[in-house]
């Protein structure tokens, strides 16, 4: 006879897969699939929560569910993201120990939504009045702002996080929230300049077009979105730049910034900078007769003038010079070398990416300023004093494998390998150690150790990142030389497979699958060209 839950959140033995008679990969996957088909998206495997994205709204996150999981003991409750949040909060308050929630999974698995639910439940459990309540509201308002500037539509996910974030919630020993901090990692800067037809730039550019009044667009010299190179690739451009959803999203971003504490002047500066970035992408180059050969000169100086005006720069000529000329100093004398048209285009895109990245860092810095505790606590580093406890929430992109994988996927997948190694250590290695302490010596726990692939990336002096760094800093660095050095160094490595012929590609065997990296792809090419110039 099947077990029946007294309440929808009451636990059953079958909720935890450690109750299975035989713990094999096949049995685990089968049990998770059966539960998913029965409408149970959450499953426990020991102390770990497995969540399967339902790709639909579910009625299991309202006040009743939140209240049920707000108990001081959640051991008798069914697996749920609220249970993770409540367990972290209760352990922090009762045990006076800092906690961290690590959220991992492939792109589109629902990591960002899970992070939101954890924050929501923790905020509900530490309900405060006065300044505490205002701080809670600010923290909740983080999501619309961060998603607008850090998320984008990809082939796998309409709201994919294109950066990693670590949010730290700070509490008094009583459990009252006193502040928060945010660190961001690996912003996918190349998306500012390059997207495929089925993918979009960062959300904020489309929200900007849908939400700004026409007179403001005119002040910023913004034409139709199809006229800007950084936006025109997307196949549904006109629709997305005028939709009601985008207009509402832009309003939500403005409300979020106001709630957190951004001034109207700061908001206007951000909007102006976004427009300047779009105009930078429209700067074009032609070969100059004066420089000879393929030496570049700006084809449309009026666009440079617009960029200079928006960035409050005194001279558009200096901007043109910076985009077309490499100046070095030899024996105290400046030496100028004109870029080729292709190199100037790389420099132009590098400038746009750098501006967007610096703007994003500045937004995060301002968020931290407005969310810091009102005492002598330092926000220069996300470390805590004896007077504060904290709950950390790590939300970083999942493993990625596309048709063309660039430097971003190179870094993202390395980060996921390191997270996987952390899980392996916590789940398997520590479990074996604990069993050994209890005298259970014959326990057979096998798992795949991914140390070799991490060493492939990080080993010194010979690792993929060291070799890439070598080519980036060398005067004659090139993609071809990087691939050749990699082949020579890792020809017999178990996780590295060079491609045949002269193709500038190789395949890395990750824990989640084989990934082929195209070194000629835009991201990797830009990295090497910018550094070697």
Residues serving a catalytic function are 107-108, 112, 157, 160-161, 398, 400
How much of the chain is helix, strand and coil, in % rounded to 5? 50, 15, 35
| Angle (nearest 5°) at CA 78 between 76 and 80 | 125
123 to each of 33, 114, 184, 347, how far by Cα in Å? Answer: 32, 14, 21, 45
Does 107 carry a binding-site annotation? yes
| Termini Cα distance of the chain | 72
Does 110 carry a binding-site annotation? yes
Does 105 carry a binding-site annotation? yes
- The alpha carbon torsion through 464, 468, 469, 475 (nearest 10 deg) reads 150
Q: What is the CA radius of gyration of the chain?
A: 26
Question: Where are the alpha helices (H) located in 261-378, listed in sequence order?
Answer: 264-280, 301-310, 316-324, 341-371
* CB 81 within 8 Å of CB 111: no
Does 258 carry a binding-site annotation? no
Does 266 carry a binding-site annotation? no
- Non-local (6+) Cβ contacts of 352 within 8 A are 192, 193, 230, 277, 280, 281
Does 130 carry a binding-site annotation? no
Does 111 carry a binding-site annotation? yes
Does 503 carry a binding-site annotation? no
CA 171 to chain centre: 26
Q: Where are the beta strands (DSSP E) in 246-288?
A: 285-287
Q: Which residues are annotated as a binding site?
A: 105-112
Question: Residues annotated as binding site for ATP?
Answer: 105-112
């Amino acid at each position: 006879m099947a077990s029946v839950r007294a309440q929808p959140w009451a636990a059953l033995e079958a909720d935890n897969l450690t109750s299975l008679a035989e713990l094999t990969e096949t049995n685990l996957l089968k049990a998770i699939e059966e539960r998913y088909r029965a409408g149970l998206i959450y499953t426990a495997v020991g102390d770990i929560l497995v969540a399967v994205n339902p790709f639909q709204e579910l009625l299991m996150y309202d006040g009743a569910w939140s209240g049920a999981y707000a108990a001081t003991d959640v051991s008798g409750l069914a697996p749920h993201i609220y249970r993770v949040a409540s367990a972290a909060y209760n352990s922090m308050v009762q045990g006076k120990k800092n906690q961290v929630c690590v959220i991992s999974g492939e792109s589109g698995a629902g990591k960002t939504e899970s992070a939101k639910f954890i924050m929501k439940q923790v905020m509900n459990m530490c309900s405060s009045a006065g300044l505490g309540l205002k701080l809670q509201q600010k923290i909740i308002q983080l999501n619309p702002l961060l998603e607008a500037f850090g998320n984008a539509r990809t082939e796998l996910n309409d709201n994919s996080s294109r950066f990693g974030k670590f949010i730290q919630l700070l509490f008094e020993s009583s459990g009252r929230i006193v502040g928060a901090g945010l660190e961001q990692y690996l912003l996918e800067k190349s998306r500012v300049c390059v997207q495929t037809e089925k993918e979009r730039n960062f959300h904020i550019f489309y929200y900007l077009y849908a939400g700004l009044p026409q007179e403001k667009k005119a002040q910023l010299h913004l034409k139709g979105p199809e006229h800007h190179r950084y936006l025109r690739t997307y196949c549904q451009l006109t629709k997305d730049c005028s939709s009601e959803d985008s207009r509402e999203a832009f309003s939500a971003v403005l409300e979020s910034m106001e709630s957190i504490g951004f001034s109207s002047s700061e908001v206007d500066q951000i909007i102006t900078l976004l427009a300047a970035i779009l105009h930078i992408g429209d700067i074009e180059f032609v070969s100059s007769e004066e420089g000879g050969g393929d030496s570049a000169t700006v084809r449309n100086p009026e666009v440079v003038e617009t960029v200079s005006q928006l960035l409050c720069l005194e001279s558009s000529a200096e901007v043109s010079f910076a985009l077309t000329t490499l100046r070095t100093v030899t024996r105290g004398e400046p030496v100028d070398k004109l870029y080729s048209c292709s190199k100037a285009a790389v420099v132009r895109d590098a400038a746009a990416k750098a501006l967007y990245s610096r703007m994003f860092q500045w937004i995060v810095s301002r968020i931290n300023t407005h969310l810091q505790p009102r005492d002598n606590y330092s926000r220069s580093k996300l470390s805590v004093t004896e007077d504060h406890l904290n709950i950390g929430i790590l939300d970083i992109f999942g493993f990625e494998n596309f048709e063309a994988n660039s430097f971003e996927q190179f870094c993202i997948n390395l980060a996921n390998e390191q997270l996987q190694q952390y899980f392996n250590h916590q789940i398997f290695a520590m479990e074996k150690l604990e069993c050994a302490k209890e005298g259970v010596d014959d326990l057979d726990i096998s798992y795949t150790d991914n140390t070799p692939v991490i060493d492939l990336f990080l080993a010194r002096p010979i690792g993929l990142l060291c070799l890439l760094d070598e080519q980036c800093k060398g005067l004659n660095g090139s993609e071809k030389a990087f691939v050749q050095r990699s082949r020579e160094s890792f020809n017999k490595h178990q996780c590295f497979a060079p491609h045949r012929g002269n193709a500038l590609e190789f395949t890395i065997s990750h824990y989640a699958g084989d990934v082929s990296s195209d070194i000629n792809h835009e991201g990797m090419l830009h990295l090497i060209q910018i550094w070697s110039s």
